[in-house]
Amino acid sequence: MSSEPVPIHAEGVFTMGIDGGVWEVLIFEYLDKKHYYRDLMKNREGLFNELRIVMRNMQDFLDEETIKINGEVVRARVVDVGLGFRGSFDRPYLEFYIYFKGNLRHGVNRYEDYYEEEVAEYDYEIIWLFPPGFRIIEYEFAGESSVMGSGNILRLTVKKGLRVGNYESITFEMP
């Protein structure tokens, strides 16, 4: 058995601002029976180096995507990453803080993301939060989805084994 932690679940929350800025918080949960991350906590420099590596890896992954808002390419940047534990050292998580910004206009807007197609290795959920008064018109994502709230919240659920990627989009209206 590998000493590497095994990813078991992920969740992401995307919060769209009225200025077109999007804060993305991604949390990846792991099963870590050999306590790789706990042991890193004993070595501050080792922990710092590991977090710098995972931050760079996430940035490389984001750099492979093409994100567009209203047809203009925008660049997602990893701002920071943190490490935590859910109840025990067997359940570490990495939390990424990511930001990108596009130009919104009153009326209809469109977010698009092009990325490599893959098979989901674990279950995950994504929530998009738009400001009050915004309204989701249509969307294209793999998995189960629903619009909630006053039409400004989109919830997506993907099960392990589902083919995802290549393209996703959200068309929404700004008052």
Amino acid at site 22? V
Question: What pLDDT is stored for residue 10 in this prediction?
Answer: 98
**Stated pTM of the model:** 0.94
What are phi and psi for residue 132, nearest 5 degrees?
-55, 140
Question: What pLDDT is stored for residue 3 in this prediction?
Answer: 67
> Residue 114 forms beta bridges with which residues?
66
Cβ neighbour number for residue 64 with a 10 Å cutoff: 9
Q: What's the distance, CA 161 to chain centroid?
A: 18
Question: What pLDDT is stored for residue 1 in this prediction?
Answer: 46
* Angle, CA 170 vertex, CA 80 and CA 110 arms, to 5°: 95
Question: What pLDDT is stored for residue 53 in this prediction?
Answer: 97
- If you ran DSSP here, which 8-state letter would residue 50 be given? H
Question: What pLDDT is stored for residue 2 in this prediction?
Answer: 56
pLDDT per residue rounded down to tens, the chain (175 residues): 456 899 999 999 999 999 999 999 999 999 999 999 999 999 999 999 999 999 999 999 999 999 999 999 999 999 999 999 999 999 999 999 999 999 999 999 999 999 999 999 999 999 999 999 999 999 999 999 999 999 999 999 999 999 998 999 999 999 9
- Asked if 127 contacts 14 with a C-beta cutoff of 8 angstroms, the reply is yes
